[in-house]
A and B are shown apart, each in its own frame.
Chain A
Amino acid sequence: MTKIVVVTSGKGGVGKTTTSAALATGLALRGFRTAVIDFDVGLRNLDLIMGCERRVVYDLVNVINGDANIRQALIKDKRVDNLFILPASQTRDKDALTQEGVEKVLNALRDDMAMDFIICDSPAGIEKGALMAAYFADEAVVVTNPEVSSVRDSDRMLGILASKTRIAEQGGGDIPARLLLTRYSPERVLRGEMLSVEDVQEILAVELLGVIPESQAVLNASNAGSPVILDTDSDAGQAYLDAVARFLGEDLPHRFLTTGKKGLLGRLFGGQ
Chain B
Amino acid sequence: MSIFSYLLPKKQRTASVAKERLQIIVARERSMRGGPDYLPQLQEELLAVVRKYVPVSPESVNVQVDRDSGCEILELNITLQDHQDT
Contact = CB atoms under 8 A, between A and B. Distances in A.
A192 interface: yes
Contacts of B52: none
B8 to A, nearest CB: 6
A196 B30 contact: no
A270 B3 CA distance: 7
Contacts of B4: 190, 266, 269
Tell me the dominant secondary structure on chain A's binding face. Answer: helix
B12 to A, nearest CB: 6
Nearest to B12: A192
Give the size range of A's interface with the partner.
20 to 34
How many residues of B sit at the interface, in one of the four size bands? 20 to 34
A57 interface: no
Interface of A: 147-148, 151-152, 155-156, 159, 162-163, 189-196, 198-199, 202-204, 266, 269-271
Given A159-B34, A196-B15, A202-B19, 17 more contacts: A148-B21, A148-B22, A151-B22, A151-B26, A152-B22, A152-B26, A152-B29, A189-B1, A190-B2, A191-B5, A191-B8, A192-B12, A192-B13, A195-B15, A198-B1, A203-B19, A270-B2
